[in-house]
Amino acid sequence: MYAILDIETTGGKYNEEGITEIAIYRFNGHEITDQFISLVNPEKEIQPFVVKLTGINNTMLKSAPKFFEVAKRIVEITDGCILVAHNAQFDYRILQTEFRRLGYDFQRESLCTVELSQRLIPEQPSYSLGKLVRSLGIPVSDRHRANGDAQATLKLFRILLNKDHNKEILKNTVRSASTGILSQRLLDIVEDMPSSTGLYYMHDDKGEVIYIEESKNLKASINKKFTSAGKKYRSLQKEMRAVTYEETGEEMIAALKENEEIIQNRPRYNRKDRRKPFKLILKKEKTPQGYLALKIVQYKGQKSYVTSFNSWPEARTFLADFSKKNELCLKLTGLSEARKQCSAYEEGTCHGACISKETPEAYNERVEKALESATLAHKNLIVTGKGRTIEEKSALLIEDGVLKGYAFVNLNYQIQSYEVIKSLISPLSNDPFNRHIVEKFLRKKNKFRIYTF
């Protein structure tokens, strides 16, 4: 659990500042569960430059509650939370100073979004909150007011959580929580998990991720793991001390995240069941007569191929539909063993390559053009699908056929903007497995909107 925090102060000498406004959002990593926003009477004058910057003046604060009147609420809303702030050292110091004046020792774990951004979003021209959110396309209002800056920090933190493939934030969060046996509290968390698409992570007592799995139904999948009697899962149940999850909305993004994060985190219960990324590939080769023939063959690490499949039925169904749609010869796609013309020629959907009626040049030109739809090669695309909420979309960036990464983009952003998407993406490896995942899902074209650039 996190407490996203922003504080405005009077300015002045170090450790003599007073709080003029505070905003706190209690955030469970997925949604806001509580919030507290209030002006605060600092019982001292505000520095003129602060009045100009924030718009908060002494007159506005005369009737505002004093800090001791809101202190209990601050303790309650941050209880059990890690404080998250942009330049957390400042906000945490100010809070501790105010509580110390009341004789109370306020102690919380903290995370700084400046430090996280420098690590997870390198090479930004500036890491000030205003410039950083602007470069990332994060909408923000009421800059230099506690509520506006806290909301901007929350949106930034969500991006950082998504970019954190090594799961260091989650590991530290779990590590800082009390662990031991799988408590009723954790069982309640699992009960409250959504029946949505995403990934879940199982952690040991040190916070390390020991198992990752993507699912179209998070709640059903994790419950299945709890009740499985298999040897592997009984062992996993004994070691597990915490469960966390991330929603993705889109199944393709969940599959890509799973592959990427298993590679980077190497959870020990995933290593044992890692399989080949796919079993079959579609290759093209020329016949002695000069025609391009398409063949489905077993994948043995070949570098050059058109696309890939998990099973023979999937591959044959694709090839049959592909041949019919593009009026290709069934003998040259391996779907017919006829001695003379194929059945498609008799039906009028083959132009006669099987009996040399269509020239190799004409046939091969049609094949190459048709194959462009089956592969990512040389394409520049932004592929958008479901987001985690109704206000956002997922976006996958492909540049010159290379997978660059994915992002979650608010609907009021410019979804078709290359620059916005590029600034938000979480990088992806351009490996055969990831390409297989994308090509497999893109065959279901009705699920996605595809923009070229």
Q: Apex CA 147: angle with CA 193 and CA 177, to 5°?
A: 40
- Shared domain check, 448 and 362: no
pLDDT at 182 over 70: no
**pTM higher than 0.85 for the full model?**
no
- Shared domain check, 115 and 248: no
* DSSP letter for each residue of 150-208: HHHHHHHHHHHHHH-TT-HHHHHHHHHS--SS--HHHHHHHHT--SSSEEEEEE-TTS-
The pLDDT score that the predictor gives to residue 19 is: 93
Question: What percentage of the chain exceeds 90 in pLDDT?
Answer: 43
Q: Look up the CATH number of the domain holding residue 58.
A: 3.30.420.10
- Shared domain check, 130 and 40: yes
Q: Which of 224, 254, 271 corresponds to the end of one domain?
A: 271
> Could you tell me the two tokens for 285?
């080769």
Q: What pLDDT digit, counting tens, does each position of 33-43 carry? A: 999 999 999 99
Q: What pLDDT digit, counting tens, does each position of 238-282 carry? A: 788 888 899 999 999 999 999 999 988 889 888 755 556 789 999
- Shared domain check, 192 and 150: no
Angular region, 207: left φ>0, alpha ψ -120 to 50, beta rest: left
Asked if residues 235 and 186 have their Cβ atoms less than 8 Å apart, the reply is: no
Place of tokens 């209030």: 38
364 in helix, strand or coil?
A: helix
The pLDDT score that the predictor gives to residue 417 is: 72
- Shared domain check, 8 and 154: yes
Average pLDDT, the chain: 87
pLDDT at 446 over 50: yes
Confidence band of 175 (pLDDT split at 50, 70, 90): low
Q: What pLDDT digit, counting tens, does each position of 263-272 carry? A: 888 898 887 5
Q: What is the mean pLDDT of residues 143-160?
A: 91
Q: What pLDDT digit, counting tens, does each position of 87-117 carry? A: 888 899 999 999 999 999 999 988 999 989 9
Q: What pLDDT digit, counting tens, does each position of 328-353 carry? A: 999 999 898 888 888 899 888 899 99
The pLDDT score that the predictor gives to residue 416 is: 67
Give the structural domain span for 55.
Answer: 2-163
- Shared domain check, 90 and 25: yes
Q: What is the mean pLDDT of residues 188-207?
A: 84
The pLDDT score that the predictor gives to residue 242 is: 82
Q: Which of 374, 399, 419 corresponds to the end of one domain?
A: 374
- Shared domain check, 395 and 370: no
- Shared domain check, 316 and 249: no
Q: What gap in Å lies between CA 174 and CA 1, rounded to an integer?
A: 9
> Could you tell me the two tokens for 47?
């520095």
Q: What gap in Å lies between CA 251 and CA 198, rounded to an integer?
A: 7
Q: What gap in Å lies between CA 39 and CA 122, rounded to an integer?
A: 35
- Shared domain check, 237 and 315: no
Q: What is the mean pLDDT of residues 320-331?
A: 92
- Shared domain check, 240 and 253: yes
Q: What is the mean pLDDT of residues 207-216?
A: 91
Q: Which of 374, 397, 431 corresponds to the end of one domain?
A: 374
Q: What gap in Å lies between CA 369 and CA 79, rounded to an integer?
A: 61
Q: What gap in Å lies between CA 138 and CA 155, rounded to an integer?
A: 7
Q: Look up the CATH number of the domain holding residue 257.
A: 3.40.1440.10
- Shared domain check, 58 and 182: no
- Shared domain check, 153 and 49: yes
Question: DSSP assignment, residue 41?
Answer: B
Going by DSSP bridges, is the β-strand pair 280-286/292-298 parallel, antiparallel, or unpaired?
Answer: antiparallel
* DSSP letter for each residue of 290-342: S-EEEEEEE-SS-S--SEEESSHHHHHHHHHHHHHHHT--TTTTTS---SSS-
pLDDT at 184 over 80: no
pLDDT at 180 over 60: no
Our count of domains for the chain comes to 4
Confidence band of 225 (pLDDT split at 50, 70, 90): confident
Tell me, rounded to whole angstroms, the distance of Cα 257 from its chain centroid: 7
The pLDDT score that the predictor gives to residue 274 is: 58
The pLDDT score that the predictor gives to residue 169 is: 84
> Could you tell me the two tokens for 293?
């023939």
The pLDDT score that the predictor gives to residue 133 is: 86
> Could you tell me the two tokens for 133?
């959110």
What residues contact residue 367 under an 8 Å CB cut-off, 6+ apart? 284, 292, 294, 326, 328
